[in-house]
Amino acid sequence: MKNNISSRRGFFKTLVPKKEFILRPPYADEVSSFLKHCITCLDKPCVNACEESIIQIKDDLPYISFENSGCTYCKECALSCQKDVLHVETPHQINALFSIDTQKCLSWNGVVCFSCKDYCDERAIEFFGMFKPLVKDACISCGFCVAPCPNDAIKIKESF
């Protein structure tokens, strides 16, 4: 659902614009190689190979958007890469660290909400009682916690 203001979540997402953050697809090992070779790839097969449709194109480069889903690390993007930029042998990782904005998070502000935790298969989001969630080291940067958060309280920053 992309900023659909017919829902309450969509309405609140329109109030505060998201800061843009460019994430490389998983299995990318070296930034310079990624920037040099991905831009020369014409048909961008990684976009079509992504089963979650989270790989998108901006300025001729693929990037990850967690707006609607997360990464299952299925390897299809790496297997489809014709420029040898995404490697199946590279540990599945996305160049991101996730944290929770305590000012925006409903649970940190006394409202019972488990939206992020409900979507985290790795159990990397820990709640203290029913409130105050924190992202633990078990987080694999899959991004499945981002889209369901009604207040856009999941912060993403570059990890490398």
| 42 within some domain | yes
Radius of gyration of the chain (CA): 16
Q: CA distances (Å), 93 to each of 28, 49, 146, in order?
A: 8, 17, 16
DSSP structural state of residue 86: B
Q: For residue range 51-78, list pLDDT tens digits in order.
A: 999 999 998 889 999 999 999 999 999 9
Mean pLDDT of 98-117: 96
Per-residue confidence (pLDDT) for residue 116, from 0 to 100? 97
Q: Letter for the amino acid at 10?
A: G
- Same structural domain, 38 and 76: yes
Amino acid found at 99: S
Is 13 contained in some domain?
A: no
pTM: 0.81
pLDDT band with cut points at 50, 70 and 90 for residue 1:
very low
The owner of tokens 């570059």 is 158
CATH of the domain at 100: 3.30.70.20
- Residue 34, domain member (yes or no): yes
Residue 139 has pLDDT above 90, yes or no: yes
* Alpha carbons 16 and 1: distance in angstroms, whole number: 16
The domain of 70 spans 24-80
